[in-house]
Amino acid sequence: METFIMIVMLCHIGPIGQEACIPMVQNPPVYYETEKKCNNASIKKRKEMAKIAIENNIIVTNIYSTCLEDKSKP
């Protein structure tokens, strides 16, 4: 059963020079069978987000990710 969901936190420098962090979840949410599969996908997602940020001149200070088990899923 697919119950693990990835949450990514993107931190960047805003237009006035202050750091801001934004939590993100894929829409619609993507669920993974195991925490390991979710963690592997999160590594790829962080790299993809960093590349997109560079292409769009966004000053990223950090990208975090974690995989959580959604206990509300039946």
Please write the tens of the pLDDT for every residue from 19-37. 999 998 888 889 999 999 9
Which helix or strand (DSSP H or E) is residue 17 part of? none
Q: Is the pLDDT of residue 40 over 90?
A: yes
The reported pTM is 0.77
Q: Is the pLDDT of residue 50 over 80?
A: yes
pLDDT band at residue 63 under the 50/70/90 scheme: very high
CB–CB of 67/6 below 8 Å? Answer: yes
> In the predicted model, what is the mean pLDDT of residues 42-47?
93
